[in-house]
Amino acid sequence: MARYLGGKFVNIIVSLLILATATFFLMKAVPGDPFTQEKAIPPEIKAQIMAHYGLDKPVWHQYLIYMKNLFQFDLGESMKSSNRTVTSIIADSFGTSFKVGIIAIIVSVIIGVYLGMMAALRHKKFIDNFFMFIAVLGISIPSFVVGAMVQYFFGVKFQIFTVAGLEGPLDYVLPVVALSTLPIAFIARLTRSTMLEVLTSDYIRTAKAKGLTPHAILWQHGLRNGILPVVTYLGPMTANVITGSVVVEQIFGLPGLGAYFVESITNRDYTLIMGITIFYAVILMAARFVTDVLYIIIDPRIKISGGVVKK
């Protein structure tokens, strides 16, 4: 187990290093720099600014310095928002994205699994068809359309919720709705198709023969196997949602990570671009790592010996 997880961990570190290198050179390969503006700065001052951020050195030298700092967990200073470190910008904005995102994920899992289970139980009945039609809608309608709709109807027309911002707990409702539409639909479909398979298997028949209540069969025996694909899907999905959706943040005026990321790229704020890219990758890979561990815990059939997963 330890060897298996250790191997995974080394793999993550190597991937991160390659990603950081690739992003660094990709970014530098594009013409332009953070200090080219419409109003030209005197060349002397510009040279001074460039020297301050180390941009006067050859690219490979800049790369070495960046990597050295990265190993000390120093992401540097933002080149546009003066006197703010990249770490503090990420820490501030990630808080917002995380709070909204994690609520959206919890809501999606509860509603998605429930809808999927109900659809599987009433297979080919009205409820099944109806829920699956809703799920297709959820997958097809883009989040910015959902966001705009709920904002108009519940914010402007009926004025149940505020239009934008995150002041009180009720302000979370609309962004969470916009963020969780797609995951709910996806999880419902996934749960339904797995549960249909699970419910016809032998051990469910055995459980029925033993006289267990339908409730116990469904939630204790069925769900345990039915949830596995959802766990797989949930890893990358959580990483995606908690790092913030640019459009949802734009529509509801949330100061999240997504908004900063687009701004940093258009501003060519090198350190901030690097910082956010690496941060995204860390979250994504951490989510995958947690998924692998969860898998071993949930599914006792998976055995690990000599650092290799065996089933």
Partner 1 sequence: MSTQLKDIQHSEANTQALFEKLPQRHKEAEIITAESRSTFQESWARLRKNKYAMTGMYVLIIMIILAIVCPMLSPYNTYTNDLDNTYAAPSAKHWFGTDNLGRDMFTRSWRGVQISLIVGFTAALIDLLIGVAYGGIMGFAGKRLGNAMNKFAEVLYAIPYMLVVILLGVVMGSGLFTIILALSITGWITMSWIVRGQILQLKNQEYVLAAQSMGASGGRILFRHLIPNTLGPIIVTVTLSVPSAIFTEAFLSFLGLGVQSPDASLGSLISSAMSSWTLYPWVMAIPASLLCITMIAFNIFGDGLQDAFDPKMKK
Instruction: Give the residues lining the site for partner 1 (CB under 8 A).
Output: 15, 18-19, 22-23, 26-27, 30-32, 123, 136-137, 139-142, 144-145, 148, 152, 156, 192-193, 196-197, 246-247, 250-251, 261-262, 265-266, 273, 277, 280-281, 284-285
Select 40 or 156, whichever has its Cβ closest to partner 1: 156
Task: Find all residues with CB under 8 Å of 67, minimum gap 6, and list them.
Answer: 20, 21
DSSP string computed for 267-287: HT-HHHHHHHHHHHHHHHHHH
Closest CA to 239 of 185, 283, 301: 283
Task: Return the number of the residue (207 or 287) whose C-beta is nearest partner 1.
Answer: 287
Quick one: which H or E segment has residue 54?
A: none
- Give dist(CA 121, CA 112) in Å, integer: 14
Q: Which is nearer to partner 1, 39 or 124 (CB)?
A: 124
Minimum distance, C-beta of residue 210 to partner 1, in the bound complex (Å): 26
Token pair, residue 191, equals 């749960």
* CB of 42 or CB of 62, closer to partner 1: 62
Helix (H, G, I), strand (E, B) or coil at 24: helix
**Least Å distance between CB 48 and partner 1?**
25
Judged by CB, which is closer to partner 1: 51, or 152? Answer: 152
Choice between 141 and 212, CB closer to partner 1: 141
Maximum distance among all alpha carbons in the chain?
86
The 10 Å CB-count burial string (b at 16+, else e) for 23-39 is: ebeeeeeeeeebeeeee
Q: Least separation, in Å, of the C-beta of 205 and partner 1?
A: 18
308 φ, ψ (degrees, to nearest 5)? -120, 135
CB of 291 to partner 1, least distance (A): 15
CB of 271 to partner 1, least distance (A): 14
Nearer to partner 1, 196 or 212 (CB): 196
Closest approach of partner 1 to the CB of residue 211, in Å: 28
The number of residues making up the chain comes to 311
CB of 169 to partner 1, least distance (A): 26
Sign of the torsion formed by the C-alpha atoms of 34, 36, 40 and 46: positive
